[in-house]
């Protein structure tokens, strides 16, 4: 298995992921309707010093033919198993949006495996009380309009420039590749998850990262993480939306490089 190129790797259960670089493992977990290609800038930058692994959840991206989990805990255990299967026992962990919920759950399930934690554009409350529309409204859109049109509407809310943003087309493409069953399962997984009671148990160095124009997670969500996790720092990106890592990658990557341990 090569670590030198950004190529799809495979585990026995045919779950694909991207891997590039060398050094301490850094795992990047995408969110709802997302996929590993959304991390392109982070993979290119951080793989200079880290063994960067970007899994795709079952039901998403190159794994769209696989059955999706229906709970955040299920997704967390799926990724912990994948990492064990490829020989990665300890790692730094970054999650975005629903992926941010998943990495919180991974840390709760296997605290000894997580060396540091980055919660980006996310929060500890899965019902998303400050989202641009309720989860139930999104569910009704998927059922009435279909996946591709609904994914386009949702993706437009992720950027300050809406459907004119540079990364918008990629988000639409990834969203359209998700089945209706996977989309609905993802909504249910978020809606039924609540990580607030587990925050005090997170002892890893943690970065809470948020764009101040995020329409999916209002300020109360990252604030709850920042106040609830003892060893946490906060970074707020100005004039940035939910997908700040695609919108302003240079600033986003600089924040990550400042937080993550320096290579020896």
Domains of the chain: 7-259 (3.40.50.1820)
Pairing of the two strands 91-96 and 50-55: unpaired
Predicted pLDDT of residue 263: 81
Predicted pLDDT of residue 3: 32
What residues contact residue 113 under an 8 Å CB cut-off, 6+ apart? 80, 83, 89, 90, 91, 106
Cα separation, 23 vs 27, whole angstroms: 12
Q: What are the pLDDT tens digits along the chain (264 aa)?
A: 333 333 444 334 468 999 999 999 999 999 999 999 999 999 999 999 999 999 999 999 999 999 999 999 999 999 999 999 999 999 999 999 999 999 999 999 999 999 999 999 999 999 999 999 999 999 999 999 999 999 999 999 999 999 999 999 999 999 999 999 999 999 999 999 999 999 999 999 999 999 999 999 999 999 999 999 999 999 999 999 999 999 999 999 999 999 999 887
- Per-residue pLDDT reduced to its tens digit, 214-257: 999 999 999 999 999 999 999 999 999 999 999 999 999 999 99
Predicted pLDDT of residue 5: 34
DSSP 8-state class, residue 194: B
- Count of CB atoms situated within 10 Å of the CB of 201: 11
Per the structure block, which two tokens stand in for 194? 């609540």
Pairing of the two strands 16-20 and 50-55: antiparallel
Please give the C-alpha separations between residue 89 and each of 86, 113, 150, 151, 167, in angstroms, as whole numbers: 9, 6, 37, 34, 32
CB 245 within 8 A of CB 42: yes
């Amino acid at each position: 298995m090569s670590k030198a190129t950004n190529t799809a790797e495979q585990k026995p259960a045919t779950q694909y992921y991207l891997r590039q670089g060398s050094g301490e493992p850094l795992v990047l977990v995408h969110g709802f309707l997302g996929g590993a290609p959304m991390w392109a800038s982070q993979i290119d930058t951080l793989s200079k010093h880290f063994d960067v692994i970007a899994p795709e959840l079952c039901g998403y991206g190159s794994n769209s033919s696989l059955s999706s989990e229906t709970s955040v805990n299920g997704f967390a255990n799926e990724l912990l198993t994948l990492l064990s299967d490829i020989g990665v026992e300890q790692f730094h962990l970054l999650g975005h949006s629903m992926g941010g919920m998943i990495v919180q759950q991974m840390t709760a399930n296997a605290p000894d495996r997580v060396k540091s934690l980055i919660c980006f554009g996310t929060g500890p409350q899965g019902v998303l009380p400050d989202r641009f529309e309720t989860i139930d409204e999104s569910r009704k859109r998927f059922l009435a309009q279909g996946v591709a049109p609904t994914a386009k509407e949702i993706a437009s809310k992720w950027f300050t420039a809406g459907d004119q943003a540079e990364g918008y087309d990629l988000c639409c493409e990834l969203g359209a590749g998700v089945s209706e069953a996977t989309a609905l399962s993802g909504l249910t997984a978020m809606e039924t998850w609540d990580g607030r009671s587990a925050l005090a148990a997170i002892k890893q160095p943690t970065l809470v990262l948020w764009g101040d124009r995020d329409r999916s997670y209002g300020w109360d969500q990252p604030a709850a993480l920042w106040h609830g996790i003892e060893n946490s720092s906060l970074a707020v990106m100005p004039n940035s939306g939910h997908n700040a890592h695609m919108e302003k990658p240079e600033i986003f990557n600089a924040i990550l490089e400042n937080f993550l341990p320096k290579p020896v």
